[in-house]
Amino acid sequence: MPEIRDRLFIGGEWTSSRSGQTFGVVDPSTEEVIATVARGTAGDVGDAVGAAREAFNGPWRRLTPEDRSRLLYRVARVLESRLDEFAELETLDTGKPLQHSRSEISGCVRYFDYYAGAADKIHGETIPLGPDYLNYTVREPLGVTAHIVPWNAPLSMVCRSLAPALAAGNTAVVKPAEQTPLTALKFAEVFLELDFPPGIYNVVAGFGEDAGKALSEHPGIDSITFTGSVETGRAVLKAAAEHVKPVVLELGGKSPQIVFADCDLELAANEVAKGLFSNAGQYCDAGSRLLVEDSIRETFLKKVIENARAIKLGAGIDDPDMGPLVSAEHFERVLNYIDTGQKEGAHMLIGGCAEGFEKGYFVAPTIFDKVERGMRIAQEEIFGPVLVTLSFNGEDEAIDIANDSSYGLAAGIFTRNIDRALRFASEIQAGYVMINEYFSGGIGSPFGGYKLSGYGRERGLVALENYTQIKNTVVKISVRACCL
Ligand code: NAD
């Protein structure tokens, strides 16, 4: 097992929590406690914000963009050289298969490479006012950025916002989810190894109701990037309003995968299964609503069921196709939704609680058919391996059902008709649209939601706007004395 860091990381040092409290971290594959971690509260958050402020006002601010870029490239190289170690820890903490953890940690490396390359290209502009003026803008860092992240892709969610924030010259305080704090803490080793000035990366592990709340309410932060549920997002937004802090909200989803009769059915069936069952349905952009054209419903569902049945469940560390859900609480929540679906009158074709496991929070790939759009399982984010199927007749009905959701994060469209695909892409209310492949795109592609899925965009160059503010300076140029 990789070495576990069980203390907070503040101002470049490992520290116990001020209160002395700790909490247990459980491997969801075995239900065993694998670590006891310092539980940060408001006092620790205050210390971390103070350390981040000092670093921002001091050495970090004086670095040239080129030096910052070089340092961030080095973060990428060190993380890359330790990829297996971080992947193993992520798997133990979340239960996700090793191959998924590896791919997520590779994504973290890519975040640092991508934004390292951008650090010295954050330009302002000049605005013409005629020969008597110089009018220019610069993009300045905000200062201390707060990053509150969920448990479903722990280090990936940290790096997605941390890398652009640091590239733009900010410092950071990270609050990982209480279920999965281990990789965010261990990541501090990289900053120590590279002799980063203390206080640039701070991690306060702890619970939402105290560490998370204290961080979002702290007057000393300059922005919040929040990734998590709608309910918590609202609380964070209210806290930020008190001190008028900018917020990026990356919230939940109930993303449709829309399958037209003219698509490549084999390809679509593979993509639909991948789009929902990857990470046991615990991705915000999981394609959890299958909208299938009526004429192919039965044939298509058979194919998806075949794919779902082929998925091997097991402990993440054994690298199966699908691991357990993240926690006992979440396991109960997902099973409740499965129960609700049956009570609402939908037909469960396969799935439910996985058999053959004495320990661990395993739910089998579950598929519901005959789902009506008003049902709770059609509207609410389950965040588990539960696919709900609705059928449609023709494009108009398809778009109507697809947009009948309070969420608007992602959408997948499967058709061989390019006009239809592009019409659909334009009409769908979602921030991220994928045609004929689910989870396509990458770190350069802006990601974020419409409607209750949040606002602001992560990834891509546009994310740098979340971590900079524009200063406009206008200079009046004096007329030469000889010309007076
Ligand atoms: P959550 O809202 O319960 O928790 C997210 C984070 O907020 C955790 O670190 C938690 O400790 C903290 N928190 C809880 N209460 C808080 C409070 N009052 N003030 C400040 N912080 C608080 O979400 P979760 O269950 O950890 O994650 C699942 C959700 O995240 C799903 O809805 C999923 O769709 C969403 N998600 C969205 C994206 C995206 O990019 N849009 C990515 C991943 C996950």
**Residue by residue, what is the 3-state secondary structure of 159-194?**
HHHHHHHHHCCCEEEEECCCCCCHHHHHHHHHHHHC
CA–centroid distance, residue 248 to ligand 1 (Å): 13
Q: Please tell me the distance between residue 184's alpha carbon and the centre of ligand 1 in angstroms.
A: 15
- pLDDT, residue 276, reads 98
* Closest among 309, 298, 287 to 261, alpha carbons compared: 298
Q: Which two tokens stand for residue 330?
A: 């979440």
Q: Among 227, 254, 439, name the best residue to mutate to test ligand 1's pocket (greatest count of ligand atoms within 8 A of Cβ).
A: 227
Percent of the chain's residues with pLDDT above 90: 98
Which of 25, 284, 379 has most ligand 1 atoms within 8 Å of CB, for mutation? Answer: 284
Inter-CA distances, 464 with 123, 149, 412, Å = 11, 18, 27
- Known active-site residue 298: no
Ligand 1 atom 19, closest CA:
213
Ligand 1 center from residue 312 Cα (angstroms): 28
Sign of the Cα torsion 191, 193, 199, 205 reads: positive
pLDDT digits (tens, 9 = 90+) for 237-293: 999 999 999 999 999 999 999 999 999 999 999 999 999 999 999 999 999 999 999
Ligand 1 pocket test, candidate residues 157, 213, 229, most atoms within 8 A of CB: 229
pLDDT surpasses 90 at 390: yes
Does the pLDDT of residue 483 top 70, yes or no? no
Mean pLDDT of the chain: 97
Nearest CA to ligand 1 atom 28: 228
Q: Is the pLDDT confidence value at 13 over 60?
A: yes
CB environment 87-123: b (16+ within 10 A), e (fewer)? bbbbbbbbbbbbebbbebbebbbbbbbbbbebbeebe
Atom 42 of ligand 1, nearest CA residue: 284
| CA-closest residue to ligand 1 atom 35 | 228
In this structure, what token pair is assigned to residue 474?
Answer: 């206008």
- Separation between Cα atoms, residue 262 and residue 247, nearest integer Å: 42
139: pLDDT confidence band, cut at 50, 70 and 90?
A: very high
- Out of 88, 90, 250, 271, the active site residue is 250
Reported confidence tier of residue 422, pLDDT bands at 50, 70, 90: very high
Which band of pLDDT confidence, cut at 50, 70 and 90, is reported for residue 408?
Answer: very high
| Closest among 451, 459, 447 to 230, alpha carbons compared | 451
Question: Is-contact 238 134, C-beta < 8 A?
Answer: no
| CA-closest residue to ligand 1 atom 22 | 208
* Closest C-alpha to ligand 1, atom 10: 208
Q: How far apart are CA 114 and CA 131, in angstroms?
A: 38
Using CA positions, which residue lies closest to atom 14 of ligand 1?
208
Residues pairing with 48 in the sheet: none
Euclidean distance between CA atoms 88 and 99, whole angstroms? 10
pLDDT at 484 over 70: no
d(CA 204, CA 10): 8
Q: How far is the CA of 228 from the centre of ligand 1 (A)?
A: 2
Instruction: Tell which atom from ligand 1 comes closest to the C-alpha of 206.
Output: 11
In this predicted structure, the answer to whether residue 482 has a pLDDT above a threshold of 80 is no
- Quote the pLDDT of residue 387: 98
C-alpha 211 – ligand 1 centre gap (Å):
13
pLDDT digits (tens, 9 = 90+) for 153-205: 999 999 999 999 999 999 999 999 999 999 999 999 999 999 999 999 999 99
CB within 8 Å of 367: residues ≥ 6 apart: 301, 304, 305, 308, 348, 349, 350, 351, 386, 387, 389
**Phi and psi torsions of 388, nearest 5°:** -110, 135
Alpha carbon of 330 to ligand 1 centroid (Å): 13
Atom of ligand 1 nearest to the CA of 215: 20
The first and second tokens of residue 103, run together, are 């791919």
Q: Which atom of ligand 1 is nearest to the CA of 228?
A: 30
CATH fold of 256-435: Aldehyde Dehydrogenase; Chain A, domain 2 (3.40.309)
CA–CA dist 137, 469 (Å, integer): 10
Q: If you measure from the C-alpha of residue 45 to the centroid of ligand 1, how many angstroms do you get, rounded to a whole number?
A: 18
Measured in Å, residue 250 CA sits from the centre of ligand 1 at 9
Alpha helices per DSSP H over 95-151? 98-118
CATH annotation of 8-251+453-471: 3.40.605.10
What is the 473 CA–ligand 1 centroid distance (Å)?
Answer: 39
DSSP structure class, residue 384: S
Domain ranges of the chain: 8-251+453-471, 256-435
Report DSSP state, residue 317: G
Choose the residue to mutate in 149, 232, 331, 451 for probing ligand 1, maximizing ligand atoms within 8 Å of C-beta: 232
Distance between CA atoms of 426 and 402, rounded to whole angstroms? 13
What is the pLDDT at residue 480?
Answer: 76
Which residues have any ligand 1 atom within 6 Å of their CB? 148-152, 157, 175, 177-178, 207-209, 212-213, 216, 227-229, 232, 235-236, 250-253, 284, 381, 383, 409, 449, 454
The pLDDT tens digits for 331-371 are: 999 999 999 999 999 999 999 999 999 999 999 999 999 99
The residue whose CA has the least distance to atom 40 of ligand 1 is: 250
Shortest-distance Cα residue to atom 26 of ligand 1: 150
Which atom of ligand 1 lies closest to the CA of 213? 19
